[in-house]
Amino acid sequence: MLREALTNRLYGNIQGLKPNQIKRIQHVYRRRIPPHQIATPELARYLGELSQETGRQIGVLVNRKGQIEYVVVGDARSIFLPEFGRLRAGESRFRGLRFIHTHLKNEPLTRDDLTDLSLLRLDLVVAIGLDDEGMPVVSHAAHLLPRPAEENGNGHPLRDADRAGAYRFLDPVHPSQLDLDFLDLIRNLEEEFARVHGARTASGRREKAILAKVRTNGSADEAEAQLEELRELTLSAGVDIVDAFTQARPRFDPKTLIGKGKLGELTIRATQLGAELLIVDQNLTPAQNREMAAATGLKVIDRTQLILDIFGQRARSRDGKIQVELARLKYMLPRLAQRDDALSRLTGGIGARGPGETRLEVDRRRTRDRIARLEREIKSLSRGRAQRRSRRSRRGLPVISIVGYTNAGKSTLLNALTGSETPVADRLFATLDPASKRLRFPREQEAIITDTVGFIRDLPKDLIAAFKATLEELAEADLLLHVADVSSPRFEAQREAVERILRDLSLDAIPRLLVLNKIDRADPLEVAGEVARHDAVPVSAIDLTTVAPLVERVQNILWREAPSTHAAEAIRAWSSPDRQD
């Protein structure tokens, strides 16, 4: 029975076709396939005939009712599917569309066919191989698999994506013998996908991520170390990692950072492992983020957003919350401005419409208003802190600020020095709010010692701006204790990153002392080398017996062995020449 065609719009390469050919290709929309069948021999013949005549591949996207939703024209060797919304790759359902198209030279499924299958999560991809007369001779078909296949079958060469075991090839048969029950097949597959993913999500509701890093220059070791840091950041954000990889490329792909083939592979992995997040070790432009999300169906998170998320989870005090929110809004704003066309592009062609322009205008204006308000609050915050500082400096106590890479042991050291119990944790950015404590030295001397938020390589600039109030505190310090984890394989890179940030914040004029922490876990020879190289002090902040030399050294710096507090005053003035008190 014929039904009214949904549309007669043709997609793809229709230039140069004769009006009569266009009309006959449009007639393909009138065909219908019984739901249990993959394709009918009649449809195969008709597509073959049109392909033969035009010298172009012709394809159809068929829904589960057997209706043809799209008719697409390619060229002699390839065909491009129209842009339609991607599904979220974490889902266990497929697209609900299968792609059936002709191959003029009876080629087997191509790499592009298989990429479309996985990227678009098609139900099935079918190539109808034609002979020289345009008669269908064989159909090649493949579908996705929920887990790596043991065998590949059918003599198809193994490629990377195959090794990931992403799809199964059906036996090539003549189109009239494609008698597999399509609906049965797809239902079983979807159930299996759901089982695999369900079993994994049942263990907890944490999100799952695949990590990716693109290496354009620098060594493989360095890239590996950076990926390791991304791992720690991800875990600190409370996200599970199901896979991670680096890709070496001469340069970033300007649109999607990662190459198209790799993205396809990654989407397959995400589907198999039930991941819904893709976390990349680069900072993405809003456009790149959009492209990558569209290409993979995954939520894409860049390094800045990951760090912002961690900060968001950690912020406890009012100050901390305001600062983090400001940073997040600033990060969001340009992305918000892009959202309308992103959505309309993503939903284009499938009917659903994105939110209207007005709604987004409102969102943007509200965001800007809120940013302005938060900035005012932060200004007043800064003033409050400045007042507190000046009260403190009237009391004449020198200020020591602990700085250093996140997780270096800053808070642990503060606790060890002052006998306090600032929370400590083996995760990144455990401390967000600076805590100030009194530190009593043996010779009746006193100082204020402050713990700060940890630093990290490529600290997002919005975050630095937002944490200005906190970081300003550092400018008033008489001594910066730079705590570094000497047991880390990334010690040198971390030490340098901190030095760079101090320079960027114009804090490098303040006297500072490098403290090599976690010596209990480090090689003593290496520690000795670093001590000599940087005139540093070794400690193990978890072992109180190791901190005495540090206390001694600090005391000597602040008071230059002079026993009176008057001298301390003098030295404080000496040690930070540009303070205006």
Ligand X SMILES: Nc1nc2c(ncn2[C@@H]2O[C@H](COP(=O)(O)OP(=O)(O)OP(=O)(O)O)[C@@H](O)[C@H]2O)c(=O)[nH]1
Indicate the residue whose CB is closest to ligand X. 454
Helices 260-273, 286-296: crossing angle, 10 deg rounding: 60
Query: At a CB cut-off of 8 Å and minimum separation 6, what does 8 contact?
Result: 26, 29
Q: How far is CA 239 from the centre of its chain?
A: 11
In the list Mg ion, ligand X, none, the entry touching 74 (Cβ below 5 to 8 angstroms by class) is: none
Q: Is the dihedral of CA 340, 342, 344, 347 positive or negative?
A: negative
- Binding window for Mg ion (CB under 5 A); candidates: 226-234, 243-251, 404-412, 559-567: 404-412
Asked if 411 interacts with Mg ion (CB under 5 A), we say yes
In the list ligand X, Mg ion, none, the entry touching 191 (Cβ below 5 to 8 angstroms by class) is: none
Question: What is the smallest separation between the CB atom of 417 and Mg ion, expressed in angstroms?
Answer: 13
Q: How far apart are CA 182 and CA 3, in angstroms?
A: 21
Q: How far apart are CA 438 and CA 186, in angstroms?
A: 68
HSE on the CB side for 443, CA within 13 Å?
Answer: 14
Asked if 431 interacts with Mg ion (CB under 5 A), we say yes
Interacting residues toward ligand X by CB under 6 A:
404, 406-412, 424-426, 428-431, 454, 517-518, 520-521, 540-542
Question: What is the smallest separation between the CB atom of 455 and Mg ion, expressed in angstroms?
Answer: 11
Specify the residue for token string 């006998």: 419
Sort strands 124-130 and 68-73 into parallel, antiparallel or unpaired: unpaired
Specify the residue for token string 């969001």: 332
In the list Mg ion, ligand X, none, the entry touching 409 (Cβ below 5 to 8 angstroms by class) is: ligand X
Please give the size of the binding site for Mg ion, defined by CB under 5 A.
4
Q: How far is CA 563 from the centre of its chain?
A: 54
Whether residue 189 contacts residue 146, with contact meaning beta carbons closer than 8 Å, is answered with yes
In the list ligand X, Mg ion, none, the entry touching 406 (Cβ below 5 to 8 angstroms by class) is: ligand X
In the list Mg ion, ligand X, none, the entry touching 264 (Cβ below 5 to 8 angstroms by class) is: none
Question: What is the smallest separation between the CB atom of 430 and Mg ion, expressed in angstroms?
Answer: 5
- Among residues 170 and 432, whose Cβ is nearest to ligand X? 432
Asked if 414 interacts with Mg ion (CB under 5 A), we say no
Q: How far apart are CA 242 and CA 253, in angstroms?
A: 24
Sort strands 97-103 and 136-144 into parallel, antiparallel or unpaired: unpaired
Asked if 430 interacts with Mg ion (CB under 5 A), we say yes
Question: What is the smallest separation between the CB atom of 162 and ligand X, expressed in angstroms?
Answer: 43
- Among residues 275 and 547, whose Cβ is nearest to Mg ion? 547
In the list ligand X, Mg ion, none, the entry touching 102 (Cβ below 5 to 8 angstroms by class) is: none
- Nearest of 59, 64, 154 to residue 113 by alpha carbon: 59
Whether residue 315 contacts residue 323, with contact meaning beta carbons closer than 8 Å, is answered with yes
Sort strands 124-130 and 136-144 into parallel, antiparallel or unpaired: antiparallel
Q: How far apart are CA 350 and CA 333, in angstroms?
A: 28
Question: What is the smallest separation between the CB atom of 420 and ligand X, expressed in angstroms?
Answer: 12
In the list Mg ion, ligand X, none, the entry touching 517 (Cβ below 5 to 8 angstroms by class) is: ligand X
Asked if 54 interacts with Mg ion (CB under 5 A), we say no
- Binding window for Mg ion (CB under 5 A); candidates: 235-243, 349-357, 392-400, 402-410: 402-410
- Binding window for Mg ion (CB under 5 A); candidates: 326-334, 355-363, 408-416, 517-525: 408-416
- Among residues 292 and 416, whose Cβ is nearest to ligand X? 416
87 DSSP 8-state letter = P
- Among residues 208 and 518, whose Cβ is nearest to ligand X? 518
**Quick one: residue 453, left, alpha or beta (phi over 0 = left, psi -120 to 50 = alpha)?**
beta
Question: What is the smallest separation between the CB atom of 487 and Mg ion, expressed in angstroms?
Answer: 17
Question: What is the smallest separation between the CB atom of 265 and ligand X, expressed in angstroms?
Answer: 34
Query: At a CB cut-off of 8 Å and minimum separation 6, what does 334 contact?
Result: 286
Question: What is the smallest separation between the CB atom of 468 and Mg ion, expressed in angstroms?
Answer: 19
Indicate the residue whose CB is closest to Mg ion. 431
Question: What is the smallest separation between the CB atom of 495 and ligand X, expressed in angstroms?
Answer: 13
In the list Mg ion, ligand X, none, the entry touching 38 (Cβ below 5 to 8 angstroms by class) is: none
Q: How far apart are CA 336 and CA 370, in angstroms?
A: 14
- Among residues 374 and 403, whose Cβ is nearest to Mg ion? 403
Question: What is the smallest separation between the CB atom of 314 and ligand X, expressed in angstroms?
Answer: 9
In the list Mg ion, ligand X, none, the entry touching 103 (Cβ below 5 to 8 angstroms by class) is: none
Q: How far apart are CA 31 and CA 6, in angstroms?
A: 11
Question: What is the smallest separation between the CB atom of 410 and ligand X, expressed in angstroms?
Answer: 3
- Binding window for Mg ion (CB under 5 A); candidates: 30-38, 44-52, 53-61, 425-433: 425-433
The H-assigned helical ranges of 207-299 are 220-236, 260-273, 286-296
- Among residues 256 and 431, whose Cβ is nearest to Mg ion? 431
Number of Cβ atoms within 10 Å of the Cβ of 387: 10
- Residue 64: both structure tokens together: 């589960």
Interaction site with Mg ion (CB under 5 A): 410-411, 430-431
